[in-house]
Amino acid sequence: MSEVFTPEEAAILHPYVTNVDRPIFALKNLPEEVVAVLFAYYSRSRDSLRRNLLKLIQEKDLDLAERLQWRAADQDELALARQKAKEFHEKWVVGYGHASVAEHAVAHLAVEDVSIVASKIIEDTRLASFTEKSTRYVVFDRDKFYRVPCLMASPHARLYEETCGFLLGTYARLTETVVAAIKRETPRGEKQTERGYETACKAKSCDILRYVLPAGTLTNIGVTINGRLLEHLITKLLSHPLEEGREIGALMKGETEKIIPTLLKYADYNAYMAETRQAMEALATEQVAGLVPEEAPDVSLVRYPEDVEDQLVAAVLYGYTAHPLRQVQERVRKLSHEEKMGVIDEYLKRRGKHDQPLRALEHLTYTFDILVDFGAFRDIQRHRMATQTPQELGPVHGYSTPPEIVRYDLLPTYEACMARAQEAYRVIATGFPREAQYVLPLAFRKRVLFTWNLREIFHFVQLRSAKQGHISYRHIAQQVFKEVERVHPLLAKYIRVDLDDYALARL
């Protein structure tokens, strides 16, 4: 159930949100910078967006009266402009299929109290912008997990409720114990303030305990998305096999139709998406029947460019010539190794601390098969300049255990959580094989195929191997770097990576 506001609060909120009583709503009449701040709060605040907006208005940190007066005065003129826009879109975007025009209409959507499973389905739409509740800075509420309607109506309802409740209860119960253990292990540094130290210990404990959170845990996401993509996202959700996906799609459609009605005309169930998925699932099951999944390294580089130096040098030079690629390639083949490295060096050596490498690196692509815990997948999936094919979450690859759990003598409790979740999964999967994933903790591992271009690898490795990152994805980023270094050492030296394992909690 969505948060309840008093009639006075609802009246204050009403001009800025498309509803005050449902978990999904669009923002309106707010300056763009304020929208960005409100979405940024998701990452650090336990409160809902509407509660944070209310606080800003009531504490007079946000004076919107003038803006609203201006809007009211212009209503007649705006109504006329809207009607004209509607006619234009109906003719050109809907009628003639000029879909790119719809990219100029943008919606800001608050998506609250959806499961982490659903958040990944939404964020798979890679051209949009997202900010999500942090598992590091926000403590998740004990009772906030998605009640899967078909499970709640089945004989598994109690098992599902009790298992998710047990996992979230253990997460809450262990917080103090883990914070105390971190403090014993890593006393406050001389230069650290008491407040800074407390915050760092809390954040570290959240990093350790997030492994226990069930995938059905509820989260919040701020979404900024253009009309063209929104139509695609809603279509994808309405065609999704999970009921939660379809529910979210319907709510999203209802709310965004209040903002950009004409552009969402074709946002509907799509038989091509839904039936192809069903057919492929059946076919894949048939094709791999009897094949037991093999042991493989967590990070396997399965495809990479062969003559990488030649390819890169040709791609770099091409843009500065008037020749066909074939001719440039022939010339590059005749260069000495030193000359080729000279071109690459000249291209990359001026890059400052905050500069991205230049675009020719995108012509080289690398495919990685990665086995990753769901918590780390949640983070890595957010990198959009990539092609990702995730497999569904299940217990087949087991789970990760953070080293602190062992060091702090919490292994029996941790293993009991995993065993209980795994058993609940087994029972629920007999009737609901897809919905059973909601009960598995973020510690459970799944496979994902990533194809990254070299430019994104530069970005991903630098950002995700950095000290401030979570250890689980830091490990993946370091392995990705080592694999590129193994096959292309001369290029890898330009990638910025932090290979320190920071084995002890550093605060």
Shortest distance, position 272 Cβ to ligand FAD, whole Å: 27
Taking the C-alpha atoms of residue 297 and residue 480, their distance in angstroms, rounded to an integer, is 12
- Residue closer to ligand FAD by CB (options 204, 459) is 459
In whole angstroms, the minimum distance from the beta carbon of 266 to ligand FAD comes to: 23
Residue 15 DSSP symbol: G
Closest CA relative to residue 333, chosen from 360, 314, 361? 314
Nearest distance in Å: CB 136, ligand FAD: 7
Decide: helix, strand or coil at residue 196: helix
Look at residue 159 and give its three-state secondary structure.
Answer: helix
Q: Which residues of the chain form contacts with ligand FAD (CB under 6 A)?
A: 43, 129-132, 134, 356, 382-385, 456, 459, 463, 468-469
Is the Cβ of residue 132 or residue 498 nearer to ligand FAD in the bound state? 132
CB of 130 to ligand FAD, least distance (A): 6
Report the residue number, 417 or 507, with the smaller CB distance to ligand FAD. 507
Nearest distance from residue 383's CB to ligand FAD, in Å? 3
Query: Which of 116/410 has CB closer to ligand FAD?
Result: 116
Q: Concatenated DSSP letters for 358-379?
A: PGGGGG-EEEEEEEEEHHHHHH
Of 299, 296, 301, 297, the closest CA to residue 484 belongs to: 301
Cβ 468 to ligand FAD, closest distance in Å? 5
Pick the closer one to ligand FAD by CB: 62 or 463.
463
Minimum gap (Å) between residue 222 Cβ and ligand FAD:
8
Residue 213: which residues within 8 A CB-CB, separation 6 or more? 116, 135, 140, 167, 168, 171, 375, 441, 442
The CA radius of gyration of the chain, in Å to the nearest whole number, is 25
Q: Which residues pair with 129 in a beta bridge?
A: 224
Judged by beta carbon, residue 414 or residue 473, the one nearer ligand FAD is: 473
H-helix or E-strand containing 175?
Answer: helix 157-185
Nearer to ligand FAD, 25 or 39 (CB): 39
Instruction: Give the sign of the dihedral formed by CA 470, CA 473, CA 478, CA 481.
Output: negative
